């Protein structure tokens, strides 16, 4: 009788183990699945600037803008049309002159590069274009420096940029104004002759800017207005002496921003030289 009881006990255990095993296969307990990771997306902006040839070594050319939906990004130059001309800060995307001798208008009129922005294993490329303007390297006699009276131009907050009164019509090619309530990156000044609104990092079209004045013009590095402003913020240019280069006419003008409205109001003012 005792043997029968043991046999019965073993039989019951076997049946229970079989049912548990079968339950796992037919809708029984299931371990929770690991959620799929959210893919990372990267956003980048191309960079296009115009500078005078023969910039100073290590001069800042501009910054490639990149961001990721999560984590931090790094930057690297994967190719450039003139090898060794440009360097980049891997942490913030700032481009600098690596070899100033390669920025020679008589050899090349523009330099290009591809910058790869990475976040982990995800990457996206930005295109960089640097256009050069010619400089008389012997006497500088081709330059036209406006030496006339200093005038003040101002555009009020909310002023219509299409109104002639709110445009500084410097030459037939360059009329400078500023928009109102514009998206981020488009609140800077632009050339309404050729642009309908500002383009971050390139406006005003047909111009190049540098911090300084006529006395040190041979050592200035010209770039876009935004890149010439301290920390690439136009509001930081208030009170800073600058030189404006009208590229097509090869005219240089001493200029100083005197006010810059924020919060998308569109107002600004500056003092500048006039022609003699």
Is there a single domain that holds both residue 182 and residue 244?
Answer: yes
CATH code of 129's domain: 2.60.40.60
Give the helix ranges, DSSP H, for 104-209.
none
Examine residue 138 and state whether it is found in any structural domain, yes or no: no
Of 133, 152, 174, the last residue of a domain is 133
Last residue of a domain, one of 133, 167, 197: 133
Q: In whole angstroms, how far apart are CA 226 and each of 3, 40, 94, 188?
A: 95, 30, 14, 8
Residue 90 shares a structural domain with residue 185: no
**Number of domains observed in the structure of the chain:** 2
Please name every residue paired with 257 in a beta bridge, in sequence order, or none if there are none. Answer: 270
Regarding whether 149 and 127 lie in a shared domain, the answer is no
Going from the C-alpha of 265 to that of each of 148, 204, 220, the distances in angstroms are: 31, 18, 31
pLDDT > 90: percent of the chain:
55
Q: Does one domain contain both 58 and 168?
A: no
Task: Note the pLDDT tens digit of each residue in 233-273.
Answer: 899 999 999 999 999 889 999 999 999 998 889 999 999 99
Lowest mean pLDDT across 12-16, 80-84, 243-247: 12-16
In a domain, 165, yes or no: yes
Q: What pLDDT, on a 0 to 100 scale, did the predictor assign at position 221? A: 87
- For residue 151, list its beta bridge partners: 272
Measured CA to CA, the distance from residue 199 to residue 22 in angstroms comes to: 67
Residue 56 has what pLDDT?
82
**Whether residue 208 sits in one domain with residue 123:** no
Dist. CA 167–CA 254, nearest whole Å: 18
Main-chain dihedrals φ then ψ at residue 259, nearest 5 degrees? -155, 150
| Statement to judge: residues 127 and 152 lie in one domain | no
Helices (H) and strands (E) in the chain, counts: 2, 18
Instruction: Kindly state whether residues 193 and 246 are assigned to the same domain.
Output: yes
How far apart are alpha carbons 161 and 159 in whole angstroms? 6
Residue 115 domain flag: yes
21 part of a folded domain: no
Q: Looking at 101, 133, 165, which one is the last position of a domain?
A: 133
Q: Is residue 128 part of a domain?
A: yes
Q: Which domain holds residue 150?
A: 144-273
Whether 13 is in a domain gets the answer: no
What distances in angstroms separate CA 98 from CA 55, 60, 78, 200, 251, one per listed residue? 10, 10, 15, 24, 28
pLDDT recorded at residue 105: 87
pLDDT band, residue 60 (cuts 50/70/90): confident
Residue 204: is the preceding peptide bond cis (ω within 30°)?
yes
Do residues 180 and 118 share a domain? no
Distance CA 19, CA 15 (A): 6
240 within a domain of the structure (yes/no): yes
Kindly state the average pLDDT of the residues 208-235: 89
**Can you read off the two tokens belonging to residue 269?**
């003012």
* Same domain as 149, residue 129: no
Mean pLDDT of 26-42: 72
Instruction: Please give the full DSSP string across 112-131, using - where no structure is assigned.
Output: EEEEEEEETTEEEEEEEEEE
Label the pairing between strands 122-133 and 47-52: parallel
User: What's the pLDDT score for residue 1?
Assistant: 46
Map tokens 């037939």 to a residue: 172
Taking residues 48-64, report their average pLDDT. 87
Asked if 123 and 73 sit in the same domain, the reply is: yes
Q: Do residue 126 and residue 155 come from a single domain?
A: no
Q: Report how far apart, in Å, the C-alpha atoms of 177 and of each of 105, 121, 270 are.
A: 30, 43, 11
Kindly state whether residue 180 falls inside one of the protein's structural domains. Answer: yes
Q: Are 259 and 250 in contact, with CB atoms under 8 Å apart? A: no
Indicate whether 184 and 264 sit together in one domain.
yes
């Amino acid at each position: 009788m005792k043997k029968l009881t043991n046999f019965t006990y073993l039989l019951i255990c076997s049946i229970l183990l079989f049912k548990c095993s079968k339950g796992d296969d037919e809708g029984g307990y299931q371990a929770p699945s690991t959620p799929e990771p959210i893919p990372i997306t990267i956003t980048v902006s191309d960079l296009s600037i115009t500078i005078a040839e023969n910039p100073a070594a290590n001069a800042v050319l501009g910054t490639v803008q990149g961001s990721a939906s999560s984590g931090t990004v790094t930057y690297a130059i994967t190719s450039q049309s003139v090898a060794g001309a440009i360097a980049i800060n891997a942490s913030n995307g700032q481009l600098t002159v690596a070899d100033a001798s390669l920025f020679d208008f008589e050899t090349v009129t523009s330099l290009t590069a591809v910058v790869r922005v990475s976040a982990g294993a995800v990457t996206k490329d930005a295109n960089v274009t640097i256009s050069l303007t010619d400089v008389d390297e012997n006497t500088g006699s081709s330059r036209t420096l406006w030496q006339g009276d200093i005038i003040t131009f101002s555009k009020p907050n909310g002023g219509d940029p299409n109104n002639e009164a709110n445009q500084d019509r410097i030459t037939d090619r360059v009329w400078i104004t500023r928009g109102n309530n514009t998206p981020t990156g488009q609140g800077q000044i632009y050339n309404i002759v050729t642009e309908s609104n500002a383009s971050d990092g390139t406006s005003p079209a047909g111009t190049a800017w540098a911090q300084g004045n006529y006395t040190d013009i041979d050592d200035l590095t010209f770039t876009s207005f935004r890149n010439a402003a301290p920390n690439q913020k136009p509001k930081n240019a208030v009170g800073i002496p600058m030189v404006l280069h009208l590229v097509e006419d090869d005219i240089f003008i001493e200029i100083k921003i005197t006010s810059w409205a924020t919060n998308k109001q569109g107002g600004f003012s500056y003092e500048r030289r006039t022609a003699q």
